[in-house]
């Protein structure tokens, strides 16, 4: 059963405030690069300003989000240098989003931010496990992620694939605007 997990590189941080999940994701991600010499800690308050400065200003997105995908992605890239390459991956295809997520983590060893619960909440995926069925097809078995909730506590969660792909977790964004109807991952461009 192929298993990819970068949790050993990433420290779980809880969100400091009820609406700081994006800031906590950025904090964990920036402090969890595969190269230990390139791990930097930024406070969530610092990251808040950076995210606000990069959040979408498109008319349909204004005031809809605390941290939108562009804000998270551009915040992380602004704190990084090439060859680090944070990208947004919004797509209407769950399979494409899941494939991007797995390839991103597997090929770069960076964690990836994912919007769950129709866009309400960010989590940081740090690993996954697959299994091969009788036809030889490789299927997702578990997904491993850090959740910055509860506030001040945080949680290390491993969810079975059918729950992750069900109607409540990795589902299309319902928020109107740029990302509506899309699955959203913010990760490293796979190599």
Partner 1 sequence: MRHQPTHTFLTPDAAIKAAKRAIQENGMLKWPQCAILRNPGVIPQPPMLTSEPSVEDGGDDSHSFIVPYGLKGEQSPSGVPITRLCILIDAVTGEFEEVATFGMPIAYLQREAAIRIVASALRVPEDHLPVTDASLMFQSSEITHLRVYPFWRIVVKERVYYVDQEGKLYNDIPPGKSGS
What string marks each residue from 46 to 85 as x (binds partner 1 by CB under 8 A) or -?
------------------xxxxxx-xx-------------
19 binding partner 1? (CB under 8 A)? yes
Residue environment code for 154-180, b if the CB has 16+ CB neighbours within 10 A, otherwise e: beeeebebeebbeeebbbbbebebbbb
Closer to partner 1 by CB, 101 or 123: give it: 123
Closer to partner 1 by CB, 5 or 190: give it: 5
Among 77, 157, 165, 189, binds partner 1 (CB under 8 A): 157
Q: In whole angstroms, what is the distance from residue 21 CA to residue 121 CA?
A: 7
Look up tokens 């964004």; give the residue.
173
Give the nearest distance from C-beta 191 to partner 1 in angstroms: 26
Closest CA to 161 of 179, 184, 185, 138: 138
Q: In whole angstroms, what is the distance from residue 173 CA to residue 160 CA?
A: 21
Number of residues that bind partner 1 (CB under 8 A): 42
Closer to partner 1 by CB, 24 or 101: give it: 24
- By DSSP bridging, strand 138-147 and strand 112-116 are unpaired
Interface with partner 1 by CB under 8 A: which residues? 7-8, 12, 14, 18-22, 64-69, 71-72, 115-117, 119-122, 142, 144, 147, 149-150, 153-160, 163, 167-168, 173, 175
């Amino acid at each position: 059963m192929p298993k990819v997990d970068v949790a050993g590189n990433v420290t779980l941080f809880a969100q400091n405030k009820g609406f700081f999940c994006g800031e906590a994701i950025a904090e964990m991600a920036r402090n969890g690069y595969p190269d230990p010499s390139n791990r930097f800690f930024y406070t969530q308050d610092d990251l808040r300003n950076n995210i606000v400065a990069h959040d979408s200003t498109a008319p349909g997105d204004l005031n809809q989000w605390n941290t939108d995908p562009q804000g998270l992605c551009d915040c992380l890239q602004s704190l990084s240098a090439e060859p680090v390459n944070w990208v947004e991956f919004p797509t209407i295809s769950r399979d494409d989003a899941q494939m991007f997520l797995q390839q991103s983590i597997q090929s770069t060893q960076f964690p990836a931010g994912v919007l769950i619960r129709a866009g309400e909440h960010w989590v940081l995926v740090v690993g996954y496990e697959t299994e091969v069925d009788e036809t030889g097809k490789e299927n997702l078995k578990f997904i491993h992620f850090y959740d910055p909730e509860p506030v001040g506590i945080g949680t290390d969660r491993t969810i079975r694939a059918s729950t992750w792909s069900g109607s409540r977790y990795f589902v299309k964004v319902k928020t109107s605007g740029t990302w509506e109807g899309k699955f959203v991952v913010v990760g490293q461009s796979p190599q």
